[in-house]
Amino acid sequence: MTERHELPDPARRDELAENLAKVEERIAAACAAAGRKREEVTLVVVTKTYPASDVRLLYELGVRNVAENRDQDAAPKAAACADLDLQWHFVGQLQTNKVRSVLGYSDVVQSVDRMKLVTALSSAAVRAGREVGCLIQVALDAETGARGERGGVAPGGTEELATAIEGSAGLRFDGLMTVAPLVGPYAGRQRAAFDRLMEISADLRVGHPAANMVSAGMSTDLEEAVAAGATHVRVGTAVLGVRPRLG
């Protein structure tokens, strides 16, 4: 992992503390505006492309949930932070040949989007002797066929996947995740997108009442997600800074 920031640790710590405080303020304000309790929303900091030293600083600053989207990057980072009491979320498109490695450090996989992945996750979880939380990633743009390239299952496919996860050894069905679509009818309409996700979640919870996690909202649209009812926001840039490359 290359160090992409040049600040020594104390300065980087101050920078992260300041960014974290701003994000915390935004979440608190969004909760207040929506009449929600602050404890209803969990901040998951997306540390992709940033080094393990940043994860360590974030931990010192009180962060307990972190997310990664590429196993090659995440596996060594998680290993370097194995002494910290962190929840690791996997939020990237996941190939079945990476499942075993990802389950070596992930507590929750937020990007479950196909049957083959459910099968692979289940056998890897059983082999590892552990239970893994699963969120189904919903591609809201797939509803109209304008499918993006960021993974996810069409809303119509969620019930089948939920049932499969629930019936799979080693897996726990926790809820839904989405990334606001860049194309299609929801492009630029984050609030409408997140409202739609909440609707799908409410429908699913009729048959799966425990699956009450809703992961939505990132650096630019966390307010819309909190307003819609998200339980988890995934924030990268606003805490760690602009990533030098797409990650």
Ligand X SMILES: *Cc1c(COP(=O)(O)O)cnc(C)c1O
Binding site for ligand X (CB under 6 A): 46, 48, 69, 91, 179, 218-219, 234-238
Q: Which is nearer to ligand X, 155 or 170 (CB)?
A: 155
Query: Residue 200 Cβ, how far from ligand X at the closest point, in Å?
Result: 17
Q: How far is CA 84 from CA 57, 59, 63, 87, 218, in A?
A: 11, 8, 11, 9, 24
187/218 with CB nearer ligand X: 218
**Structure token digits, residue 26:** 């935004």
CB-nearer residue toward ligand X: 130 or 237: 237
What is d(CA 216, CA 77) in angstroms, rounded to the nearest whole number? Answer: 24
How far is the C-alpha of 241 from the C-alpha of 105, rounded, in Å? 24
Distances in Å between the Cα of 128 and the Cα atoms of 39, 132, 160 are: 32, 10, 25
Nearer to ligand X, 111 or 122 (CB): 111
Which lies closer to ligand X via its Cβ, residue 19 or residue 170? 19
Tell me whether residue 48 or residue 208 sits nearer to ligand X (CB atom): 48
For ligand X, the nearest residue by Cβ is 236
